[in-house]
Structure 1
C-alpha cells in the first residue's frame, strides 16, 4: 500500500536504553552449544553485548523516563501534546492501553488522543504513518510517538536463537507540521498467513498461560524455551527479508526517481549484522550507508532499532543538517514497510540510559 504525506516532519528523536549491559561471552554457558560454535555465531551475526532491563521494568517506565527527560530540558511541554501513540508488543497490561498509563503517570491533559498499536519490527514505520495521518486534523499540532519494548522478559535465557540478540529500549519521536517539509513517500505490506514465523504461542486468549505453557522444553536445535516465550523461525524470517524487503525498497526508490547514491542513509530495523549486510548487498547499497551496529551494542529492540540507528550513528549530523534517509522495518506479522524522507535539522537527537543497572 502506497502512502504519501505532505507538510509533516519529525521534529525530534530521543532513545532510551537500560543501563544494564550483558555480554554474549558471559551468557554462553546458558546455551546447549560448544564454546567454539557460540563464538562462531558471535562473529557471523555480530553479537557482542545487549541492553536489557533488570527486574520488573515495564514499557511505561522507559516511556515516562524519556518524556520526563524532555520536559526537564524544555524540549517538549506537557500541555502541547495533542496525541500520544505507543507502539509496543509488551504492554504493561492486557487492558488498559499503555498510552493511557503513560498519560496518567505524566499528568497530561485530557483533551488528547491516546492510542496503542500492537506492532513490532516495523512498528516505527507504522507509528509514523499513523502519526502523520493524525496531523491532518486541525486540532492536532503535535504528536508524540513512543516505540517501546521490553521483550527480554518474554525470551528464554537458554534460547541461543533469540536471547543473545534481544534488547530492550524506547524511543520518543516528536511529529509536527512543517510548511517547508518535503513529501514523504511510504509503502507497507502485511502477510498474516506467515504470522507463526515470529510468535509467543501462549499468554493470550487463544492459549492462556498455565503450568503447561511454562514448562521448559528443548527443541531439535538445542534451544530451551516454553510456550510462554518468544519463538522465532530464523530461516523463515531470513528468507522473508531477503525475498520481500529488497523489492519493496527498490520499488520505493524507483517510483520516487531516487538513486541509491542520493540517499544519505538507509536506517533499517536491525535483526542482526549478517542480515543487514546481506540486505545492503541485494540493494547495492554500500555498507557504510546502512548502519548495522545496533544489535552488537544494544540488541534487537524491535522497531526501536530504527531510531536507535539514527541517534547512535547520526546524532550530531541530524541536529545541524538535513539528510535524505530511507527508513525500513520488517518482521513480526509478517509486516514490511519503508519510508523515504528528509530528516533534520532536529530539535533534539540523543540517547540516554535508563536507571542504575536497568
Structure 2
C-alpha cells in the first residue's frame, strides 16, 4: 500500500461544484482519504516491494515459486508481460509459468480461479498471485465522479497445494455488451494517444476529463451491480447448499460504501458481515480491494481461525464473479506500506 494519503477536502477546489455539493457526495459514498503511488511508481514496483518483504522475512522462498500470475489493468508496458518483468527482477527459476491477466474489479477472483487450475498440474505446487493497479494517473483531477474514489495498491497471495480435502464453489459471469460502462477510451490501438486525446472536455454533470482518463457511467454501473450481484450470490449459496448466515464474512470488491450497503441489504445479510470501509480509508484499487478489505478487517481472525468466506468482484468488463470457500488459519495476512 502506498504511504501517501490524499484527503477528499484537499481536492475539492479542483471540482466544478460547490463545497456543499461535494461534501454531500462525500457523506453519501463514504469518502475520506485514499492512497496514491508516488510519481513514476508502476504496478510492478508495488508488487516488487511486497515480494521483497516476503523474501526478506522468509515467508516465501524464491525457489518454491512454480507460477506467477499478474492481474492488472495498468501494466508497465504493452510488451513485455509484467509477470516476466517481475520474474527477471528477482532472477526466479526458468522452469515456471508467468502469466498476465487483463482484468479489473473482478481480477482477484479471476486470478484465484486461474491459480486453482494451475495447481491441478502435477509440476505446480505453489502459485504467487499478484493483483495490482496504479490507476490514479488515469483519472482526471477535475472529475468528481471518479477522482475521489480511486486509490493504488498491490496484493500478493500465495496459493499452494494442500492435503486437506475441501470444496471451493465459484461462479464467473461476463457481459461484453456493457463493456463501455467503465473505460479509458485512448491509449490502445483503437485510439492511440495524441495531442487531441489529452484535451479536457466538460460533461453534462460538470466534470472535466480527456479521452485518456477513466470514464465511468455511474448509474449504469450501480444498476448492474444491484441487478446482477445479489442473484449471483444467492445462486452460489444454493450450489454450495449453504445458508447465507453460515458465511462468516462477505469480502467484496469496494466500489463505495453506499453501493455495498445496498448489496448487503438486497442479499439479506448483516452489514457487519460485509465490510464497506476500504474506499474511505484507502480508495478503490480495483480488484485489489478484495484482499485489502480482508487484511484491513479480519487479519487477526483469519491468521488464527478457519473462516467460511464469500469473495466477490464486479465491474469493468462487465464481469462479476464470486467464490465460496474456507480460508485460514493463514501464516500471514498484513498490510505493508511502500
Do they fold alike, i.e. is TM over 0.5?
A: yes
1:70: which partner in 2?
54
Q: Measure how far apart 1:181 and its partner are.
A: 4.2
Which residue of the partner structure matches residue 149 of structure 1?
133
1:229 counterpart = 2:213:
yes
Distance in 2 (alpha carbons) for counterparts of 1:254 and 1:138: 32
**How far off its partner does 1:130 sit?**
0.4
Equivalent positions of 1:115-194 (< 5 A) are: 115-194=99-178
What is aligned with 1:46?
30
Aligned 8 A contact 2:68 2:98 in 1: yes
2:106 touches 2:319 (CA, 8 Å); kept in 1? yes
1:97 aligns with 2:81: yes
* DSSP 3-state at the match of 2:128: strand
* Structure 1 stretches lacking a partner, 5+ long: 1-16
Counterpart for residue 190 of structure 2: 206
Q: Counterparts of 2:13 and 2:92 in 1: how far apart (Å)? A: 46
CA RMSD after TM alignment: 0.6
Task: Name the count of aligned residue pairs.
Answer: 338
Quote the residue 2:271 is aligned against.
287
Confirm whether residue 34 of structure 1 aligns to residue 27 of structure 2: no
Give the structure 2 partner of residue 242 of structure 1: 226
Q: Secondary structure at the match of 1:121?
A: coil
The answer as to 2:302 corresponding to 1:310 is no
Who is 1:340 aligned against?
324
Unaligned runs of 5+ in 2: none
TM-score normalised over the length of structure 1: 0.94
Which whole-Å CA distance do the structure 2 matches of 1:51 and 1:272 have between them?
Answer: 15
Structure 2 residue aligned with 1:251: 235
Check conservation: 2:169, 2:239, Cα contact below 8 A: no
> What SS does the aligned partner of 2:111 have?
helix
Q: Residue 214 of structure 1: SS of its match in structure 2?
A: coil
Higher-RCO chain (CA-CA 8 Å, sequence separation at least 6)? 1
**What SS does structure 1 have at the residue aligned with 2:48?**
helix
Give 4+ residue runs of structure 1 displaced > 4 Å after superposition.
Answer: none
Distance in 1 (alpha carbons) for counterparts of 2:111 and 2:99: 10
State the alpha-carbon separation in 1 of the partners of residues 13 and 269 from structure 2. Answer: 37
TM-score by length of 2: 0.99
Mapped to 1, the partners of 2:171 and 2:138 lie a distance apart of: 30
